Chains A and B, each alone.
Chain A
Amino acid sequence: MRIGCLLVPDLPLVAELRAHPELDGLPLAVLSEPGARATVLAASPEAVRAGVHPGQSLLHARAVCAELRVRTASPALERAAQRALLDVALSASPRAAASPSGTGAHGGEASVLLDAAGGTTLFGSEAGLAGALTARGAAVGLPAVASVASSRFLARLAARCLAIEAERGSVRVLTPDQEADFLAPLPVDLLDPDDALAEALTRLGIHRLGQLLALPRRALATRLGPGVQRLVARLRGEEHEPLLPPPRDRRLSEAIELEAPVERLEPLAFVLRGLLARLLARLSLRSLACGELDLTLALADGGRETRRLGLAAPTLDARVLLRRLRFALESAPPPAAVEGVGLATEGQPLRGDQLDLFRPAGPAPAELDALLAELEALCGPGRVGSPRVADDLRPDAFDMGGFRPAAGCLATLPSDPPGPRLAARALRPPVPAEVRLRSGRPRWLRSAVANGEVVHCAGPWRTAGGWWCAETGFDFDHFDVQTSDGLLVRLRCDRRRHAWQVDAVYD
């Protein structure tokens, strides 16, 4: 079995830089909590060069580096970064899982393990697989190191060593015969032993892993307990853990907590743009598109608002999605200032189409999806689609469905063209009218559409339905009416409400 490991050494720092790329290259420290009593959790290389180190107090850090920028650690950003790391692993292997977070000196690291079997077929070699992992990690804002070894423990240990001694983006591949030579000079501290074991090993003069592996296992277990035996077994690659499982959760989410509440749309749109960019980068890793978006707003009054925004078709166009989000926020602003924003989506595959020899080529499916999503973002939800005759007797009923032009077929076309027909232009909503009657028929009409004496009148035709419900029931008498101003309209009398309306113009 071959296992790959993708490791990010300073997750709090990387998560902040992923959300705020403008801070890259500046002396930056991530703090444990807001306020002056905070301590430094992680520091950028520029800050480290200026003398800032993890564990320092904020006051101390500011004293050694006056230009220091500080951010408070955000659990939401770190969670999103960890999931993005898993997405990177899943883009190269169907089986991947996040490994437990490190402790002690390695508490800030995050890593994922993946099944590297068969990776050489796709990437040419195991080094190619590891290189692809680091490149994809960098593309989603996660500078990482990668390694491939025979077991999870060794792969993670190799990645951990690499993170200490080499730059981000480096890779290491350990073949089975190289593993003993690799382990021998490494310090025991890399195993992150608990305090009692570390003290016992120091007392025995064991500082290197090679020394530990040279000792007889049974005697070691007798003197230092079963814990060290498990450790040695892992060093030798003797693992009895189940295979890495395929992921069950297909949901992708990105979130951010804002430093100050936002009350206006423009700054919120700026935040949403960054969130969308990160979410779409992860979706593209999975070769999926966004077909539905869940927007979560944490409000300053303690409330929480969640909205589900549908799209006409899956898309990866950030511009379209941002316009859809803006439209939703403009049409229904949140009741209070926004303190935190989250976006989540379940990826959907992009559509494909089979070309037809006997039909003119329509729009390409992928471009059509992007177009539909953009048009819906522009015009509003439910305003873009394919018209349908509604399965409803109500005169003003209409229906819209998804636009799938490929679903039609020439064989379904009628053979005889109907020719030009009198068409109705619907008035939505119908226009109220004032009508004078003679013998129960309209003889004079006044409305915002047509006015004057009724020159010709045909009807009535009665349309009624929904009698079992007072709210949705309808009962209309329809007349086709031509007025003295030359207009030909469809007039209706609402017999339930005793009101007249013009609901269409013949044109």
Chain B
Amino acid sequence: MPARAPGRAPGPARAERLAALVRDLGDRIRPGGPREETPGRLPTGIPDLDRLLAGGLPRGRLAEITGGPGSGRTALALTLLSEATRGGETVAVVDAADAFDPVSATAAGVELPRVLWVRAPGLREALRSSERLLEARGFALVLLDLCGEGLGPRARASARARSEAQPSEVLRPGASAPRGSPDPRRLASRRLAPARSEAQPSEAPSVWMRLARRARATGTVLVLLTPVRRVATCAAVAIEMQAEPARFVGPPDWLDGLDARLVLTRSRCGPIGGETVLQLRSDLAKDAT
């Protein structure tokens, strides 16, 4: 194959005309590439966070909120629910920790009739329920709360017990399996396999990819509440909550509230690293003032 002839360099007059054209067009010249679809926004109800996120959580994307116990992650989640339901949206809470408190939610301004509460008994059911909710159109936000195992050894022990639970494949304790049928224990281990991912979160990246794809298809915001990051690159937004010491005032002593530091660690819709402080006041402090 003959070598390609090198292109001629533009002459001085031509280069000057080109420079003038670039100067005239100015900002209208942008680098090429596939056109990015701009998703709509779901306001968070926290003006500083909305500013960091350029208007709110992107619809049809996965957002991850991480933080330890007492870091204010639940308060942030309830604020999201409150803002969505006050705007007339329908939301769902998939509560794998069975920790949703209707009294706290009401105090945060959540319209409870617009909330579908799914008390999933385990991780497998929670993930499956989230997937079904994302497939169903009409939910603006699905909150998946997986903070149960982070609370302490009790919850971890119960999660372990669930994953090691014996199957109920045999109807009667004394019943024997017919020849050739699969071993019930093997069946159970197959059926309960996703529960193992609770102990090993690194096993389930495909789950998050699938959920993110479902969310994108229906425009629902999936908010994952978890003590440690587990979604990796599937999340469009990642927020890390950091606890500050609680404020007690008195005498007589009462809990005034706590400050929670919110750090935006990942965002596909703006700069990362922004942070703000949430001042969370307790109901008792509000009543006292």
A binds B: yes
A interface residues with partner B (beta carbon < 8 Å): 262-266, 268, 329-331, 333-338, 358-364, 367-368, 371-372, 374-375, 378-380, 383-390, 398-400, 403-405, 407-408, 410, 413-414, 417-428, 431, 447-450, 456-459, 480, 482, 486-488, 504-507
A360 CA / B117 CA spacing, docked (Å)? 20
Give every chain A residue within 8 A of B115 (Cβ-Cβ).
386-387
B108 at the A/B interface (Cβ < 8 Å)?
A: yes
Q: Are A378 and B125 in contact (CB under 8 A)?
A: yes
Alpha-carbon gap, A437 to B138, bound state (A): 52
Collect the chain A residues with CB atoms within 8 Å of residue B246's CB. Answer: 456, 482, 488, 506
CB distance from B122 to the nearest CB of A (A): 9
Closest beta carbon of chain B to A330's beta carbon, Å: 4
Q: Determine if B78 and A371 form an interchain contact, defined as CB atoms under 8 angstroms apart.
A: no
Complex CA–CA separation, A362 to B245 (angstroms) = 40
**Which listed residue, A330, A336, A405, A414, touches B172 by the CB 8 Å rule?**
A336
Residues of chain B contacted by A447 (CB below 8 angstroms): 152
A382 to B71, CA, bound (A): 31
CB distance from B255 to the nearest CB of A (A): 4
Contacting residues of chain B (142-167) with chain A, CB-CB under 8 angstroms: 147, 151-155
Residues of A contacting B181 in the complex (Cβ-Cβ under 8 angstroms): 264, 266
Complex partner residue of A421 from B97, B107, B112, B114, CB under 8 angstroms: B107
A394–B73 CA distance with the chains assembled, in angstroms? 26
- Does B18 sit at the interface, judged by CB under 8 A? no
Question: Do B75 and A423 have beta carbons less than 8 Å apart?
Answer: yes
Which of B171-220 touch A at CB < 8 Å?
Answer: 171-172, 175-178, 181
Q: Smallest Cβ distance from B50 to chain A, in angstroms?
A: 13
Closest approach, in angstroms, between the C-beta of B287 and any C-beta of chain A? 12
Q: Let me know if B234 is at the binding interface, CB within 8 A.
A: no
The answer to whether B69 touches A487 (Cβ under 8 A) is: yes
* Least Cβ–Cβ distance between A458 and chain B, in angstroms: 4
A379-B129, A423-B280 known; 14 new pairs, CB 8 Å cut-off, are: A263-B175, A360-B90, A363-B138, A367-B136, A383-B121, A385-B117, A388-B112, A404-B113, A408-B114, A419-B79, A422-B283, A425-B74, A456-B246, A482-B245
Q: Is B274 an interface residue (CB 8 A)?
A: no
Chain A residue numbers with a CB within 8 Å of B176 are: 263
* Given A427-B99, A488-B258, CB of A505 within 8 Å of CB of B281: no
Question: Contacts A384-B118, A408-B113, A427-B99 known; A266 to B74 CB distance under 8 Å?
Answer: no
B94-131 to A contact mask, C-beta < 8 Å, 1/0:
00011111111111110111111111110001001100
State which of A330, A389, A419 has its C-beta within 8 Å of the C-beta of B168: A330
CB of A95 to closest CB in B, whole Å: 40
> Is chain A's interface secondary structure helix, strand, loop, or mixed overall?
mixed
User: Shortest CB–CB separation between residue B245 and chain A, in angstroms?
Assistant: 8
Residue of A nearest to B67 (CB): A507
20 contacts between A and B (CB under 8 A): A263-B175, A264-B170, A333-B172, A337-B175, A362-B138, A364-B137, A364-B138, A379-B118, A383-B120, A387-B112, A410-B88, A418-B107, A420-B280, A423-B77, A423-B104, A423-B105, A425-B74, A425-B97, A428-B99, A505-B151
CB-contact partner of B169 in A264, A362, A410, A449, under 8 A: A264
Q: How far is the CA of A264 from the CA of B172 in the complex (A)?
A: 8
| B72 interface hit (Cβ, 8 Å) | yes
Please state if A487 and B75 are interface contacts (CB–CB under 8 Å).
no
Interchain CB contact under 8 A, A456 and B86: no
Q: Is A413 in contact with B108, judged by CB distance below 8 angstroms?
A: no
By a CB distance below 8 angstroms, the chain B residues around A378 are 120, 125, 128-129, 132
Taking a contact as CB atoms under 8 Å apart, the answer to whether B172 and A449 are in contact is: no
Residue pair A375, B132 in contact (C-beta under 8 Å): yes
- Residue in A329, A358, A361, A418 with the greatest tally of chain B CB atoms within 10 Å: A418
Our pick among A333, A336, A387, A504 for the contact of B117 (Cβ within 8 Å) is: A387
The verdict on B257 contacting chain A, using a C-beta distance below 8 Å, is yes
B172 touches A263 (CB 8 A): yes
Check if B279 is an interface residue, CB within 8 A of chain A: yes
Once the chains bind, are B255 and A507 in contact (CB under 8 Å)? no
Q: Please measure, in the bound complex, the distance between the C-alpha atom of A399 and the C-alpha atom of B112, giving whole angstroms.
A: 11
**B84 nearest CB neighbor, chain A only:** A360
Tell whether, in the assembled complex, residue B136 and residue A371 are in contact, meaning their CB atoms are under 8 Å apart.
yes
Contact of B106 among A263, A380, A389, A486 (CB under 8 A): A389
Q: Return chain B residues, CB-CB under 8 Å to A337.
A: 171-172, 175
A363 to B121, CA, bound (A): 24
**Quick one: closest B residue to A361, CB to CB?**
B138
Question: How far is it, in angstroms, between the C-alpha of A399 and the C-alpha of B102 when the chains are bound?
Answer: 8
